[in-house]
Amino acid sequence: MEIWINPACSKCRTALGLLDAEGAEYTVRKYLEDVPTADEIRDVLDRLGLEPWDITRTQEQIAKDLVLKDRTEWPRDDSGREKWIAALVEHPKLIQRPIITADDGTAVVARTDDAVRDALSRG
């Protein structure tokens, strides 16, 4: 399993602590340094069953600067999907965290202990 983290994020540190406490084997990806490609983001979205706007941190300053809440400029449908993915690649700080990709091909946004346990149960 792999976990995408920002080391400065308390939820990421909590998730790592829980993984360690459970003796899980995992790989850490500091996604601000090792930025996911558009294909990797598409893969994670497929695993999550979500769309790019669902994993976008819209309260970040860059989101406000890009005016991501403008649904005309940033439609939340198929017509805007690739633009959202490109924004996540260009500005990885916008990616929700932590994200755990499980060995069974699924993924979870692991912002709660329950979500981390869910990922652990999937292997």
- Could you give the residue numbers annotated as active site? 9
Strand pairing report for 2-5 and 27-30:
parallel
Handedness of CA 6, 10, 11, 14 (dihedral sign): positive
Considering only CA atoms, give the Rg of the chain: 14
Q: Please, which residues have CB within 8 angstroms of residue 65's CB and are 6 or more apart in sequence?
A: none
Task: State whether residue 21 is helix, strand or coil.
Answer: helix
**60 near 94, Cβ under 8 Å?**
yes
**100 near 1, Cβ under 8 Å?**
yes
